[in-house]
Structure 1
Amino acid sequence: MTLGNQGLIMSWTFDEGTGSNTMESISKVRDRIHYVFNQAEFTEPCDPQWRKGVLGNGLLFDGYSTYIAHAIHEKDPNITYQYRSELSIGVWLAPRSYEWGYEGKLSAIVNHHNMDRKQGYLLGMYRHGSWSFQVGLESGDWKEVWAPDGHELPKNEWSYVNAVFDGNEGIMKLYLNGSEVASTDLPRGSRLVEAVDTELLIGKNNHSSLLADVFSLHMFSGMLDELNIYNRALSEQEVIDAYRYVIDTDHGGAHPQLNDEDIQLDRTPLLPDRHRPQYHVSPPAHWMNEPHAPIYFNGQYHLFYQHNPLGPFFHQIHWGHWVSKDLVHWRDLPVALAPEKDQLAPDGIWSGSATYDAEGLPVLFFTAGNDSASPNQSVALARSTYPMDNDPDLVHWVKHPEPLIVQKKGMGAFGDFRDPFVWKDDDGWYALVGSGIEDEGGAALAFVSQDMLNWTYKGPFFKADIQKFPYLGPIWELPVLLPLGRNPKGENKFLLLVSPVGQGADVEVFYWIGQLDMQELSFIPDQEEPQLIDVGDFHFTGPSGMVDPKTGRKIVFTIAQGDRTSELEYKSGWAHNGGLPLSVYLREDGRLGIEPIQELESLRGAKRLSLYDKTLAEANELLQEVQGDMLEIQVVMEPVSAKQFGIKIRRTPGGEEETLLFYDMNESMFLVDRTNTTLHPGEKCRGVQGGKLELLEDYLRLHIYMDRSMVEAYANGLKSLTTRVYPSRLDALGLEIWGDGELLVKSLDIWEMKSIW
């Protein structure tokens, strides 16, 4: 402590390194660190995340649940307010992500304020790394000093911040790394009014807004260390000395460096979560929606995803990033694209796709969110810095400074224009953009370019008749076009996928098989009515796709929706994951064939059971020894007299909790019954879901992947059924073949499955 105790009224060194409390050194009070996993319902309880600080240890704030509340000792009850003529705050911090700025509020570093009453003080961050110190004065004014452009707080780097209030001299100042960067004048003799009936909070705004009645916004995300509060105004030299003390004591006179692993989101606390999938791709923590922009480059597959690094809720959207050598085992990489302080995409980096430029290097096309523009969505591009900076993992991307395609009136449904799907051939680049046609329904719009930068609108690629198919909705998102090859007649077929949204839309992945008119750049479907790949009711959504250059396979990626309340997503610390990569192909009968990619076999562990030609009773006798929540199951069943038959999974010994996957021969329906899936009063998974499946053969062939709460069932290579299950009981691990009559289990093979993490 370079300044001794002169005027020091509160200090947190965060040197504990373990535990769920931290000492305020002056009062010797141990403050509780609020953290979602101090008490955990679904995973193992654990301490808040401690990391190496600038001196000793530091504390990592997760962005949505971590904060410290320090009770200010009671004042004389006869005194209504307490005033301060001077106040200084010094703190080392490293933000991991930035506040979006909802309702104009700061994400608080430290605060003890009430802006409505013009009381107290607030040091915090705002959009894109901007930051401010704000105070309430005896005069009734609320005064603010802001760091100017060029002095934002960088992500994933240490900064030393000082805020000084000197009412006697009539000035407020900000210092960054020992240098003054901003000041604002006050009337001489000004006094700060202490906030009453308010806790001092570190990492949380005293008056944070609530999202979904659960999530407090305006939380600090990142590292804090060496927080000191003084009841006097520090001089410029004292600020410099405090900065020099840290860098000279522990860092050889250089500015402290921060290891990526010390600040990046950590999946370790979530690994024991009994509901979190272990061999499905997922972010380290917090929120994701659709995975998208798959691309293969230099021996690795890259897959990106919509991600909120602040917490497990839909808010400030970035592009997360994974990389894999086999489409099965994935590595977490840093966020690839984030909103920045520009006129391109300051308000969100929404979905898109990946392709190659003229030199064969990867490029990303994304939806640029800019709420100051009309419409607030446009198509933009980012280039990899490979090979200039030897970046084999494609970690670094640079955005093209201007949008490439801006929607104009008459170009689809104005204001809905997103999710570009771009591909390249020998003649140039082509793009589909999700939109709609006014009063006609959803549409994919077509564009063409010779240089990847200048685009020409060709009109609707394909549109729906909302009168005939109202469930296709007024807007389409995430259009995907994949070549399927030639059918037996020699016709070249393509697969078009869309995701409807808007009033009346059924938010599922619908598809058509058809032909491509390259002259008009339009799609001619084989049949007007769309089909579903998955019949699991909103658990298989957000499509993206690629042609695998290694194998020629056409692969589809999806999000597996979590189907949980905001309260449970808060408690869990994560929301959603990806579905298994799915190979799609054109069958001899003209129907779409689907199957999980073969590489998933590499995850098989011990084989738990293999049997042939057993009655229902015989099979269930052998199944009594098989339990698990991470299994691969292949079963073939021949109905003898049964009209409904299938398999019960995640079953307790007495059947109090169980989930039934079954086929109804009379209705030609593939279904899941989740009536008894869970006894947990907060979980939403309930009822019976499913859809049409024409088997055209006597056997039911199910290929099932169970991964904790994830269930994916593939029936006869024709349909999938994706669903979620959250049993409350730890013994909900059993299996049972079920039928309403006699049936024969032709074969049954079960493997344990290994985690990819």
Structure 2
Amino acid sequence: MPHVTHLAPQAPGSVQAADRSAPRHHVRPAAGNWCNDPNGPLHHDGRYHLFFQHNPHEPVWGDIHWGHASSPDLVRWTDHGIALEPSPELPDRLGAWSGCALVEDGVPTAVYTGMNRHDGLGTVMLARATDPEITRFDALPRPVVDGPPPGLDLLAFRDPYVFTYEGRRWALVGAGHRGAVPRPDVLVYRIDEESLDAPWEWAGSLLDAEAPAAARHAMPATAWECPALIPVREGRWLLILSLWIDGVTYTATHLGGTLRTEGDGLRFVPDDGGLLDHGRDFYAPTALVEHDRVLVWGWSWESRTEAESVAAGWAGCLTYPREIGLHPDGTVRHAFARELTALRGRELPVGAELPPAYEIQADIRTREPDAEVTVRLGDAVSVRVNPTRGTVTLDRTEVPASATRPYPRTGTVTATGPTGADGRLRVLVDGPLVEVIWDERVALTEKIHPAPRGRLAIEVARGGAEVEVAAWEHP
């Protein structure tokens, strides 16, 4: 089976021959065209399986299928083509939209949004794998949820996510209410204890924007998309939400809090939160809960125009997997999946010409307050760190984004986290995709076209600091 990134098409006249115009190691459709939300990560029969929203016909959103890639180690990915396609005879005739996946009675099962109308209100459908390799899902003809609950005037109803709480399975669906004041919501459903296929029962709202922490950290939004609820410590949960504002996919946030039963349903009580990623090319993250960690992937869209993506023959990819959890002080921990160190090849000294894909690790110890260190990713892109202010800034001013939706981009983007005297910066670059994590506290993702090129340089731009640098090619 072919490696997913080795089959990316090369558009005429593109610079893909230099391996910089497109990611080499990130999951995206081998056939090119459109990719958006990650869906239904699974670990089954010794392999990781990752699905994603995919238009197989052109590099723009529309005619959404589920693409599929798998890996034994989160590093080497194999493309399997289309796993789930809409059927003209079923409630997914207008698209197999986002959802999750689980193993039911030994059979991998997709739980997804079947779309059969044009207003963003879907159904919840199931599809069973036809073989252990999950080369294809076959949809069940009857939805388990045939649309929004009666009596609710919704403008969004989609993206089911199944989780377990106190031994019982529940499901979330992202939603938003119509009205003069935007009111996003996460609806919760009870799943029959004996059968996933039985109709699910609406059990009210898990969370809405009236919760103070949600109002601070998950607004403004017209709807909350792609909800994912993950356990991070005994009695402690993170709710991941993607903020959708009048058709604009904006950013992703997390809320920390506790779960409690409320009548026949559940209620999430948040007490803190923040951005899951401070960059401008990270959205719709989804989670795989393992016994000792939680893995999260996001969708990285393009910072170029649609016309430029059409000319290149592809748009969108998934981020590297990240481990999300809690530090001992209760703040959220962000780390690249530990397996990604296997990508490291030859070492790159400071001053070396940077290859198309690489990793930089800089351990910074400040000797003076307000010291600032700059890591240069070639001639036009840099990452600046100020540990005592808790800021990380990606500067792409000399390589401006051509995309103007949802708004023209500034030349810099800054992540703000806890302050301190020292920390570790990790920067993973794969063609145009730059992913930054500072001291496992904050993350920042940005697509840069054309991709960074030039030599690696490190500067103590202000004050006094000691910097130990290691860098590796990702061949």
Confirm or deny a common fold (TM above 0.5). yes
Match of 1:740, SS state, is strand
**5 Å matches for 1:117-136?**
none
Identify if the C-alpha distance between structure 1 residues 430 and 556 changes in structure 2 by more than 3 Å, giving closer, same or farther: same
What's the CA shift for 1:680?
Answer: 8.9
Map of 1:714 onto structure 2? 437
Of the three residues 154, 166, 172, the one matched with 1:432 is: 172
Tell me, in whole angstroms, the C-alpha distance in 2 between the residues paired with 1:691 and 1:661.
Answer: 11
State the alpha-carbon separation in 2 of the partners of residues 454 and 282 from structure 1: 34
Q: Which has the higher contact order (CA 8 A, sep 6+)?
A: 2
Shift in Å at residue 571 of structure 1? 1.8
Give the match for residue 751 of structure 1: 472
Give the C-alpha shift of residue 524 in structure 1: 1.1
Higher mean alpha-carbon deviation, 511-520 vs 715-724, is at 511-520
The match for 2:3 is none
Look up the equivalent residue of 2:277 and give its one-letter code.
D
Deviation string for 1:732-755 (max 9, x for gaps)? 22122234323333311111112x
Structure 1 residues 38 and 573, CA, compared in 2 at 3 Å: closer, same or farther? closer
Q: 1:463 maps to which residue?
A: 208
Q: Please tell me the residue identity of whatever aligns with 2:281.
A: H
Please state if 1:472 is matched with 2:209. Answer: no
The alignment status of 1:481 with 2:229, answered yes or no, reads yes
Structure 2 portions without partners, runs of 5+: 1-8
Question: Paired residue for 2:134?
Answer: 394
CA distance in 2 between partners of 1:384 and 1:38 (Å): 34
Aligned to 1:367: 113
- Superposed displacement of residue 651, structure 1: 1.9
Q: In the TM superposition, what is the alpha-carbon distance from 1:431 to its structure 2 partner?
A: 0.5
After TM superposition, the structure 1 = structure 2 runs for residues 244-263 of structure 1, keeping only pairs within 5 Å, are: none
Where do residues 490-501 of structure 1 align in structure 2 (5 Å cutoff)?
492-501=235-244
Residues 1:734 and 2:455 are matched in the alignment: yes
Comparing 513-522 and 552-561, the one that deviates more: 513-522
The one of 404, 407, 411 equivalent to 2:147 is: 407
Letter in 2 for 1:633: I
- Work out which of the residue numbers 700, 703, 706 in structure 1 matches 2:426: 703
The AA in structure 1 aligned to 2:52 is: Y
Code of the aligned partner of 2:14: E
Is it true that 1:628 corresponds to 2:355 in the alignment? yes
Contact 1:677–1:685 (Cα < 8 Å) also in 2:
no
Equivalence for 2:276: 533
Percent of residue pairs identical: 27
Q: What corresponds to 1:379 in structure 2? A: 124
More strand by share: 2
Where structure 1 has 5 or more consecutive residues not aligned to the other structure, the ranges are: 1-35, 45-271, 386-390, 487-491, 610-622, 653-657
Q: In the alignment, which residue of structure 1 is the partner of 2:393?
A: 671
Provide the C-alpha distance between the structure 2 equivalents of 1:679 and 1:449, rounded to a whole number of angstroms.
45
C-alpha distance 507-413 of structure 1, shift in aligned 2 (>3 A): farther
Contact 2:244/2:250 (8 A) holds in 1: yes
Q: Is the 8 A contact 1:629 1:733 kept in 2?
A: no
Of 247, 263, 266, the residue aligned with 1:521 is 266
Secondary structure of the structure 1 residue equivalent to 2:425: strand
What displacement does 1:701 show?
Answer: 1.6
Structure 1 residues 463 and 310, CA, compared in 2 at 3 Å: closer, same or farther?
A: same
1:571–1:665 CA distance, 2 compared to 1 (3 A): same
Q: Name the amino acid aligned to 1:547.
A: V
Report whether the alignment pairs 1:306 with 2:53.
Answer: yes
**Residue 339 of structure 1 is aligned with which of 86, 96, 99?**
86
Match of 2:199 among 442, 454, 457: 454
In 1, distance between residues paired with 2:307 and 2:44?
A: 40
Name the SS for the 2:81 alignment partner: strand
Query: Cα gap change, 1:570/1:42 in structure 2, threshold over 3 Å: closer, same or farther?
Result: farther
The amino acid that maps onto 1:484 is V
Aligned equivalent of 2:373, options 614, 623, 646 = 646
Q: Measure, in 2, the Cα distance between the counterparts of 1:681 and 1:545.
A: 28
Q: Give the superposition deviation at 1:477.
A: 0.4
Question: Which residue of structure 1 aligns with residue 4 of structure 2?
Answer: none
Superposed counterparts of 1:3-152, under 5 Å: 39-44=12-17
1:235-294, Cα deviation, whole Å (9 max, x unpaired): xxxxxxxxxxxxxxxxxxxxxxxxxxxxxxxxxxxxx54221111111111110011110
Match of 2:411 among 687, 710, 714: 687
Query: 1:564 corresponds to which residue?
Result: 304
Look up the match of 1:265: none
Q: 1:325 aligns with which of 56, 59, 72?
A: 72
The structural deviation recorded for 1:626 is 4.7
Q: How far does the alpha carbon of each residue in 1:654-675 deviate from its partner, in whole angstroms, 9 at most, with x for none?
A: xxxx112113467543221111
Query: Is contact 1:712–1:721 with CA below 8 Å preserved after alignment?
Result: yes
The CA distance in 2 between the partners of 1:745 and 1:412, in whole Å, is 58
2-side partners of 1:408 and 1:449: how far apart?
16
1:612-636: CA deviations, max 9, x gaps?
Answer: xxxxxxxxxxx22353331111101
1:544 Cα deviation from its structure 2 partner: 0.4
Contact 2:288–2:296 (CA<8 Å) still a contact in 1? yes
Deviation of 1:557 after TM superposition, in Å, equals 0.8
SS at match of 1:580: coil
CA contact under 8 A between 1:642 and 1:740: conserved in structure 2? no
Check conservation: 1:643, 1:740, Cα contact below 8 A.
no
Residue 345 of structure 2 aligns to a residue in which SS? Answer: strand
**Alpha-carbon offset, residue 641 of structure 1:** 4.4
**Alignment length (residue pairs):** 454
Quote the Cα distance in structure 2 between the aligned partners of 1:322 and 1:635: 32
Find the aligned partners of 2:429 and 2:386 in 1 and give their Cα distance.
22
Alignment partner, residue 129 of structure 1 = none
CA distance in 2, matches of 1:435, 1:718: 29
**Residues 439-490 of structure 1: per-residue CA shift (max 9 Å, x gap):** 462111000111212211110111113994483312110000111122xxxx
**Is the contact between residue 173 and residue 227 of structure 2 (CA under 8 Å) also seen in structure 1?**
yes
Q: Is the 8 A contact 2:11 2:313 kept in 1?
A: no
Residue in 2 that maps onto 1:4: none
Per the alignment, residue 444 of structure 1 pairs with: 186
Distance 1:289 1:504 in 2: 15
What is the Cα deviation at residue 41 of structure 1?
Answer: 2.9
Per the alignment, residue 245 of structure 2 pairs with: 502
Deviation digits for residues 180-238 of structure 1 (CA, Å, limit 9, x no counterpart)? xxxxxxxxxxxxxxxxxxxxxxxxxxxxxxxxxxxxxxxxxxxxxxxxxxxxxxxxxxx
Q: In structure 2, how many angstroms separate the alpha carbons of the residues matched to 1:298 and 1:343?
A: 30
The 10-residue stretch of structure 1 (639-648 or 346-355) with the greater mean CA deviation from structure 2? 639-648
